[in-house]
Structure 1
Amino acid sequence: MASARKHPIRKEMCFAMTQRLKRIAALLFTLMICLCLPVRLLQAEAANKTSNRFNVVFVLDSSGSMKDTDPEDLRFAAVSLFLGLLAEKGNYLGGVVFSDDVNLDRPLTEITSIHDKKQALADFQSIAPGGWTNTGAALLKAEEILEQKGGEGLPDIILYLTDGNTDMPTDEKKQLSLDQKAEAIQNARENGTKIYSVCLNANSVNSGTTNPQEMEQIAIATGGGFEEVHNSDDLAAVFKRFYELIYSTVSSDIGGGTFDQNGSFLCDFRVPAAGVEEVNIISAAGSDLTGLELTQPSGITLSAADTEQLTMHAGKYSITKLTGPEGGAWTLHATGSPGAKIDISMIFNTSLSVASEVLQQKETYQIGDVAQLKTTIMTDGEETADPRVLEDYQVSVTVTNEKGTVTPLDVRAENGQFLSDFTASDYGTYTFRVSAEGSGIWAGAEPITIYVGNTPPVYNGVKLEQTGYIWPLFDLDCAIDLAGAATDQEDDTLTYSVVSSSFLDDSYTLDGTVLKMLDFDISMGSFTIRATDSMGAYCDFEVYMKSHNMGFWFALITGIGIALFLIITAIRFYQIKLRYFHGKFYVTAFTDEKGDVENTAQKPIRGRYRLSAFGLNTNVGLPYPKIFFQASGKSTHCMLFSRQKIYVMGSNVPSNIPAKKFRVNSNAEITLSADASFSKGLRITFEPEE
């Protein structure tokens, strides 16, 4: 949307917006690809740059179908692989195992040893599969566990594995679970919890009926990750990729091949001199691997018995963890079955991080102003004085404008820190990105944004929420106008976009400033909306949407309406049936040829009285069974009805117009005929009682 500038520089200053860090990591597609890659850089988690530790809760499906989709319990091997890669200390681990309900909830506890990891795995394995799939209850319980905050200040992660969509024995229980799922997603968005979901869609078992969209939605809505696998053998590779993504690290291939005729395999690898907290050696050989020896740069050898104490087994993988490893060249000696295949890879857990700041940062800069950026390399969350780190790592700084143009900045080292200068030559929004690289390790700092001749939009702070009422047979009407939600000192008009949402992309539209729900795929949720000015500066705010299903009320109101209609109809019917005739009817049949040919009289009691009851024998062309008198309960008149149109003279209807309903006044004669000529018919008189 175009915008009109009011002036280039804001007169009244406002605090600059702090931007969120985007994780620096890419998903790898299969474990074999990971193991075949050349040595990759280790990427430190910038959002958790001081410790790279997390509160992690596993949510594992234990419904009855898991006996078919994962008969060999390979999901636990995948969990074991993830646990084996976790840093030996500092992470907090919890878990939920669920089916119809939560069967196991393991509170957050700190992982301090390999024994803690094995105990957690044993807890998860203790629940036998059986029952339905109550996704909502499981995710809510995971959120409840995270609220314990075992590791204060640590980011929260949920790892969710299931083989199916929400499925419960009754519609009511399923709807409750879906509502709980929506609540859990919203809680995760508000608390910054990222959910990484895995869909085990074993087509050979459930004929591909599982729709992975539900699991993908959970992941995307919370900023996590999603993977779909069709074979439980692939689960370990997925959990390994999730570990790499969460902890911002990648595996490095350090050797592969076959055991020689003596059952021996040798390879060398290097460990950086600084910045490495742990080294995870991943051996993929399964039961063919019988031993692993590691020789340090100092010449000291860790025997197979020594390394076994440091190893966690996960199906065909073995993870050997070296804590505080000696930097330099190492030698690995594996023993196993002659001719068997073996692949060795390595994953670092790093203590390295990077911090950056703009010295004496201004709220708004002018053209020609200089912004000086200071970068500090840290280990274990503290500024490092280790000369090896300062010598081995190279700091790079780039600045990106609102158009996406990236410009590198010069970096100079001063007193253990790194400085860069940026001089603004044009108005706009500029974002600094800082990284440190060396010894095969890469770490990034949180981006910093400055504004030149411009200030970011400001959210007005008013909570935006809307409720959509879902009525059967009616289109959904739920929209909210975002105009005015944010204001900008320089721009009259802002551009609005959706950064993230609880809802699927095809369930809403954002047209200009109008956010409209097309469908509620979950019962409640929120949008993160970005208001951007013409120079790329922006602010984010939340918009909340919830639905209220009116199906029950529609059914209730419809039912009440039908009941009232039936009651009124019944009352009306009985009222009509109970009305009395206060008089007597005289009926004479006539023809033009013969004149009056038959006379009769009757005094009905109440309700309806058919003309055929008069016992007329003369056929004058009128349908006697279809004509009846209706009592009015009065002596002044009664009514005459015919199921087919006839002609009547002397009533309230013109004689030349056929009709079906007529008034018969007392002491007044009316004439009935099948045609307008009245050549034959009936003369009727209603004589009231005295």
Structure 2
Amino acid sequence: MLRRNQLTLRILVVISLLLLPCSYVFSIQEVAAAQQSSQIDAMLVVDASNSMKKSDPNKIGNEAMKMFIDMLSVKGDKVGIISYTDQIQREKALLEIQSAADKEDLKKFIDQLDRGPYTDSAVGIREAVKVLEQGSDPTHEPMIVLLADGNNDLNEATGRTEKESAQELDQAIADANKKGIPVYTIGLNADGKLNKDALAEISQKTGGKAFSTNTADDLPQILSEIFASHLKLKIVPIQSMTGNGSFQEVTINVPNANVLEANISIMSAQPVEVKLTDPSGASKSIPAKDILYSKSKSYSLLKLITPTKGDWKLQVKGVAKDKIDINLVFNYDIELTMDPLPSSTYKKGDKIDIVSYLTSNGQKLQNSTLYQNMNAKLVVKDLDSGDTKEVPLSNPGDRFTGTYKVADKHDYELTVIAEDSSLYRETDVVKISAKPGGASANPTPSKPTTPVTDEKKESFPVLLVVGGVIAFAAVLAAAYFILSAYKKANKGFVGQMVIEIRDENTGEKTYPQYKKLNGFKGKITLHQLLQLAPELKETEKILFVPSKNDRIMIKNGSTVNIEKSGRVIDASNGFEIKGEDRITLSLQSVDKTIMLEYLV
């Protein structure tokens, strides 16, 4: 299950602006939204083979990726980029966005991407999954966006076979699905050679969504739909306008103070000019502290930070006869919450009262206009039969209420969903049981009965026997420890260690190095595996010692921070890793990060 089902989801609103030669006003009553989300950890993966020159000759895919980055939150989201052929061409590690400068850094990296021969999709996806496993925040929502044509073109000189590529791809897909990482695929079919089924299978198996297009000009719109799909949005169909060489005005209504960010994206083949006026009638400088402005070859994006409630005036001047698409995306601080149920266990026929309402910052919203035209329902899933039932809820204007009658002696999941033609929210899942004793605690095991001893039988020379046993045990223990020490000093390793080193200043990463371990016995330092490189000398106090069941014990006697699954681990007294575990080590003396994967 994707983690977004357990997290508060981001409210994003995507609406269409109908722009004509005269001025029009639209209402944010017609919006598309999902619940507020935690931050996103996204890997953008692009096929950089020469075949993409025909599918995307103008590199609109790069422009789409840059727009995706600009739409992300000002702070907190993470983005990484991978460009691949039959190997990783360029890679940018997950970068946490903390400023507009961070976004510019990512976009400059995209502009530097080049193309090369051959293609192996397994390489790009496997690397993206690995990066997310190593650097993704457990509280963030991971995702992969893949831009490719779905076809492989392997280099015969390497000996790589289609079977090997397929097996690696299957493993990468399985890992992504296990980790809750959806892969959204975008297939470009300009030359008619798109392998649509291959890309669709990747998305279907990972809980993502597949898109395809005959023209790269559709990519910015597709990226918006991926944003919506990942965050469970309902999108109002987007309309377009034709520029006339003059400014055309539209009124944007910010409906309430719950809007955290308003993103206005303007997609066009030619540059546009924009002006903005706030609800008080004051002209706003672009850019400003609370108004970010990004421009690229095919789009412009305005991001309003905590905009004032009311009517904003947006003026857009486009080249005559140029098609212009404008989207508005809101980030709301709103959730849908369900009152806690009085119990988690019920009997067949019991009635459960349901109360759900909108909240902001943990407080119930008093603005009843947000409830207008909304319908709500309770979705009940029978975990025993697999059946799903929907129970309509009432809307008195400030909450949603209703009653559910337990149908059978089964286990159930309850969720409230509230929506209208353009608005969607859902609560966290609540589990209940109607089975006899369904929530009762496990019986406490009875204490073993202590046998009663007969004091008269203690005339047997117990002390003498016990003393002899202790002496014999001491001799055996000494022999055991001597033998164990000898075996430990000569115990060999198994498997291999995959080593990659990332330069934190440039984001560049070395090609994976596979170090076989079976030639080492007793212990080995990380510095030895790194061929005693002088700049990596601080790793000489990090020891690897063979452990039981083909595992390795890491002992850290240095100041290097060691992380596993994004969390710092204390290996000063030893920390055990098993096959397929991945760890990262952040060096102190140089700005480099070492990534290790143990393969058995």
Query: What range is the shorter-chain TM-score in?
Result: 0.5 to 0.7
TM-fit CA distance, 1:24: 11
- Give 2:362's match in structure 1, choosing from 368, 383, 387: 383
Partner in structure 2 of residue 461 of structure 1:
none
Paired residues for 1:43-192 under 5 Å: 43-45=33-35, 49=36, 51-170=37-156, 172-192=160-180
SS state at 2:274 partner? strand
Paired residues for 1:191-206 under 5 Å: 191-203=179-191
* Aligned residue identity for 2:39: R
TM-fit CA distance, 1:422: 2.1
Paired residues for 1:402-417 under 5 Å: 404-410=388-394
Partner in structure 2 of residue 267 of structure 1:
250
Partner in structure 2 of residue 295 of structure 1:
277
TM-fit CA distance, 1:254: 9.2
* Aligned residue identity for 2:378: V
SS state at 2:33 partner? strand
* Aligned residue identity for 1:93: V
* Aligned residue identity for 2:118: W
Using the alignment, how far apart are the partners of 1:32 and 1:327 within structure 2?
19
CA contact (8 A) 2:16 2:239 kept: no
CA contact (8 A) 1:55 1:92 kept: yes
TM-fit CA distance, 1:144: 1.4
- Give 1:235's match in structure 2, choosing from 219, 222, 226: 219
Write the deviation string for residues 228-257 of structure 1: whole angstroms up to 9, x where unpaired.
222222222211211121233456689864
Cα 1:99–1:256, aligned 2, differ >3 Å: closer, same or farther? closer
Using the alignment, how far apart are the partners of 1:250 and 1:281 within structure 2?
17
- Give 1:360's match in structure 2, choosing from 331, 336, 342: 342
Greater strand content: 1
CA contact (8 A) 2:19 2:248 kept: no
Write the deviation string for residues 628-678 of structure 1: whole angstroms up to 9, x where unpaired.
xxxxxxxxxxxxxxxxxxxxxxxxxxxxxxxxxxxxxxxxxxxxxxxxxxx
Write the deviation string for residues 457-481 of structure 1: whole angstroms up to 9, x where unpaired.
xxxxxxxxxxxxxxxxxxxxxxxxx
Using the alignment, how far apart are the partners of 1:80 and 1:302 within structure 2?
25
Using the alignment, how far apart are the partners of 2:31 and 2:276 within structure 1?
23
TM-fit CA distance, 1:162: 0.9
More displaced 10-residue stretch of structure 1: 353-362 or 213-222: 353-362
TM-fit CA distance, 1:277: 1.6
TM-fit CA distance, 1:126: 1.6
Cα 1:164–1:270, aligned 2, differ >3 Å: closer, same or farther? same
CA contact (8 A) 2:75 2:98 kept: yes
2:360 is aligned with 1:370 = no
Paired residues for 1:180-579 under 5 Å: 180-203=168-191, 208-249=192-233, 257-259=241-243, 263-289=246-272, 291-304=273-286, 306=288, 310-337=292-319, 340-367=322-349, 369-375=350-356, 377-379=358-360, 382-384=361-363, 387-388=366-367, 392-393=370-371, 397-400=376-379, 404-410=388-394, 418=399, 420-424=401-405, 426-427=407-408, 432-435=414-417, 442-452=424-434
Cα 1:166–1:146, aligned 2, differ >3 Å: closer, same or farther? same
Using the alignment, how far apart are the partners of 1:185 and 1:302 within structure 2?
47
Write the deviation string for residues 533-591 of structure 1: whole angstroms up to 9, x where unpaired.
xxxxxxxxxxxxxxxxxxxxxxxxxxxxxxxxxxxxxxxxxxxxxxxxxxxxxxxxxxx
Cα 1:113–1:398, aligned 2, differ >3 Å: closer, same or farther? same
Using the alignment, how far apart are the partners of 1:34 and 1:209 within structure 2?
36
Percentage identity across paired residues of the two chains? 23
Using the alignment, how far apart are the partners of 2:175 and 2:19 within structure 1?
37
Listed as ranges, the gaps of 5+ residues in structure 1 are 1-17, 26-30, 457-690
- Give 1:41's match in structure 2, choosing from 28, 31, 40: 31
* Aligned residue identity for 1:296: D
Figure out how many residues of one structure are paired with residues of the other and give that number.
419
SS state at 2:137 partner? coil
Cα 1:107–1:445, aligned 2, differ >3 Å: closer, same or farther? same
Using the alignment, how far apart are the partners of 1:19 and 1:245 within structure 2?
12
Using the alignment, how far apart are the partners of 2:310 and 2:239 within structure 1?
17
CA contact (8 A) 2:391 2:404 kept: no
TM-fit CA distance, 1:293: 1.3
Partner in structure 1 of residue 447 of structure 2:
none
Using the alignment, how far apart are the partners of 1:445 and 1:104 within structure 2?
41
TM-fit CA distance, 1:438: 9.1
Cα 1:361–1:256, aligned 2, differ >3 Å: closer, same or farther? same
TM-fit CA distance, 1:197: 0.8
CA contact (8 A) 1:288 1:337 kept: yes
Partner in structure 2 of residue 510 of structure 1:
none
Write the deviation string for residues 109-163 of structure 1: whole angstroms up to 9, x where unpaired.
2112332222112212323111211211211111111123343311210001112
Partner in structure 2 of residue 614 of structure 1:
none
* Aligned residue identity for 2:197: Q
Write the deviation string for residues 146-195 of structure 1: whole angstroms up to 9, x where unpaired.
12334331121000111242321236344332222111111111111110
CA contact (8 A) 2:375 2:420 kept: no
* Aligned residue identity for 1:398: K
SS state at 1:185 partner? helix
Listed as ranges, the gaps of 5+ residues in structure 2 are 21-25, 439-600
Using the alignment, how far apart are the partners of 1:349 and 1:92 within structure 2?
17
CA contact (8 A) 1:156 1:193 kept: yes
TM-score, length of structure 1 as denominator length = 0.54
CA contact (8 A) 2:337 2:428 kept: yes
Using the alignment, how far apart are the partners of 1:330 and 1:182 within structure 2?
50
Using the alignment, how far apart are the partners of 1:386 and 1:361 within structure 2?
26
* Aligned residue identity for 2:213: V
* Aligned residue identity for 1:196: Y
Partner in structure 2 of residue 537 of structure 1:
none
SS state at 1:359 partner? coil
Using the alignment, how far apart are the partners of 2:240 and 2:62 within structure 1?
25
Using the alignment, how far apart are the partners of 1:111 and 1:161 within structure 2?
22
TM-fit CA distance, 1:38: 9.3
CA contact (8 A) 2:234 2:423 kept: no
SS state at 1:318 partner? strand
TM-fit CA distance, 1:196: 0.4
Cα 1:454–1:136, aligned 2, differ >3 Å: closer, same or farther? farther
Cα 1:106–1:125, aligned 2, differ >3 Å: closer, same or farther? same
More displaced 10-residue stretch of structure 1: 320-329 or 305-314: 305-314
TM-fit CA distance, 1:200: 1.2
Write the deviation string for residues 50-70 of structure 1: whole angstroms up to 9, x where unpaired.
x34211001111112122221
TM-fit CA distance, 1:278: 1.0
Write the deviation string for residues 258-300 of structure 1: whole angstroms up to 9, x where unpaired.
5556x221111211203322111122344251x2111111222
* Aligned residue identity for 2:34: A
Using the alignment, how far apart are the partners of 1:35 and 1:136 within structure 2?
44
Cα 1:264–1:308, aligned 2, differ >3 Å: closer, same or farther? farther
Cα 1:455–1:102, aligned 2, differ >3 Å: closer, same or farther? farther
